[in-house]
Amino acid sequence: MSRAWTKAEIKLLGTKPDADVGRLIGRTGKAIWAKRQSLGIPAPVSLVKRWAKVEDKVVLSKTVAEAAALLDRTQQAVRNRRSKLLRKLHPHRPLSFEQAMRRISVPRYDSPEQKELVRFVGGPYHPPRRGIGDWLNCELRGKLEVGGYSNALIPWPLAAGRRKQLIVCGDLVRALKTESRLAVSFHFGISQAIVSDYRSKLGIERLTAGSTRLFWRSVNLARTDEARAKISKAHEGRGDTMTRAARARLRKIQQRPKTEAWKRKMSRYWKKRMAIVGRPAKWTPSELKLIGTQSDHKVARLVDRSVSAVRAKKFQLRRSLQKRS
């Protein structure tokens, strides 16, 4: 038999979600719900903003970016809502071979950026020409009967009796070995987690040609003048986040005499590093004059040094000026 309810426990009902109250007092969420219903205590106001019918119309008629801006919601929330609405409007039913062939068309993207993110580096990829009732050899599960085709941009054979299980064979395996996880997920209609699972079971390396393309795309975008200016703005001129007491404590720690073991360790490290990359060039008077006249990033480009090297030299110069004064 369950223990008796105390007055303190009853006071908590309705103040938080039933599951949270249950964790606080050591009862199940179902028991909290039943007790709250029996006492006529209303549920707490949900913090989740519910979707209205007018908002659903906007989600289906506009692009993801436009709908998110109009409804003041995140783009991910709009994507999730659109996916849910489309599932209601077009319930998932396996397609026949003829329907699947008619389904293959030029994909419609929400934006040029999305098109660039999910485009293939290889291909084209086509589903195997098998009718319902035929058999295919799945790379993961052996021979499987075709029960229909998925309703994706690239329709793919589904296992009979399992309407959401793709038969991993043919061009799908080739796409898993070549394309990025995002591109395979978008075109074949499966989640990125399933793509990773397929690759893991097939022994496919994580970094494919498509994944490498996306990696270098991100690197090149970060190298643009606009991106560098944005990063610089976020770092340059930022106020000191440390308090005076914390700064003084840190300086005392830095000024402590170093042990002989620490000195030997750092000596070995720098000898090894300089043997590989060589000694850094000495700062010339003209280079030293540039420090402080422009941002550290611009000075680093002008003198062909790293930003860290410029900042370290700036700190060193400040310390020497403070000692002189």
The pLDDT of residue 155 is 85
Residues 101 and 194 placed together within one structural domain of the fold: yes
Phi-psi region of 72 (alpha: psi -120 to 50; beta: other; left: phi over 0): left
| Residues 118, 209 within the same domain | yes
| 191 phi/psi in degrees, rounded to 5 | -75, 160
Query: Would 214 be classed as within a structural domain?
Result: yes
Verify that 107 and 203 share a domain, yes or no.
yes
The tokens describing 72, both together, are 């003041």
Looking at the structure, do residues 152 and 189 belong to the same domain, yes or no?
yes
End residue of a domain, out of 40, 68, 89:
89
What DSSP designation does 111 have? S
Query: Would you state the pLDDT for residue 197?
Result: 92
Q: Report how many helices (DSSP H) and strands (DSSP E) the chain contains, helices first.
A: 18, 3
Whether residues 109 and 129 share a domain: the answer is yes
Domain match, 148 and 189 both: yes
pLDDT at 223: 84
Are both 83 and 105 inside the same structural domain?
no
Is the CA virtual torsion 65, 69, 74, 77 positive or negative?
Answer: negative
Write down the pLDDT at residue 198: 92
pLDDT per residue, tens digit, the chain (325 aa), is: 468 888 888 888 988 888 888 888 888 888 899 999 999 998 887 767 788 889 988 888 888 888 888 888 888 888 888 878 876 776 556 666 666 666 555 456 777 888 888 888 887 888 888 888 888 899 988 888 888 888 788 888 888 877 678 889 888 999 999 999 999 998 888 888 999 999 999 998 888 899 999 999 888 888 888 888 887 777 766 666 778 888 889 888 888 888 999 999 999 988 888 887 777 788 898 898 888 888 888 888 888 888 888 888 888 888 787 777 6
Please give the tally of structural domains in the chain. Answer: 3
> Does some domain include residue 211?
yes
Q: Examine the domain organization and report whether 172 and 255 are in the same domain.
A: no
> Are residues 125 and 208 located together in one domain of the fold?
yes
Do 210 and 266 sit in the same domain of this protein? no
Where a domain ends, among 61, 89, 117? 89
Query: What's residue 93's pLDDT?
Result: 61
Domain identity same for 248 and 213? no
Residue 214 belongs to domain spanning: 97-218
Residue in the structure block whose two tokens are 């941002």? 295
Q: Is residue 70 part of a domain?
A: yes
Going by DSSP bridges, is the β-strand pair 157-159/135-138 parallel, antiparallel, or unpaired?
Answer: unpaired
Residue 243, both tokens: 């308090």
Element (H, E) at 221: helix 209-223
Whether residue 179 lies inside any domain: the answer is yes
Inter-axis angle of helices 181-188 and 192-202, nearest 10: 110
Residue 24 lies in a domain: no
The predicted structure's pLDDT at residue 199: 92
SS3 29: helix
Among residues 181, 200, 218, the one where a domain terminates is: 218
In this predicted structure, what is the pLDDT of residue 264? 93
Domain annotation covers residue 28: no
| Domain annotation covers residue 250 | yes
**Are both 291 and 311 inside the same structural domain?**
yes
Q: How far apart are the first and last CA of the chain?
A: 80
Asked if residue 8 belongs to a domain, the reply is: no
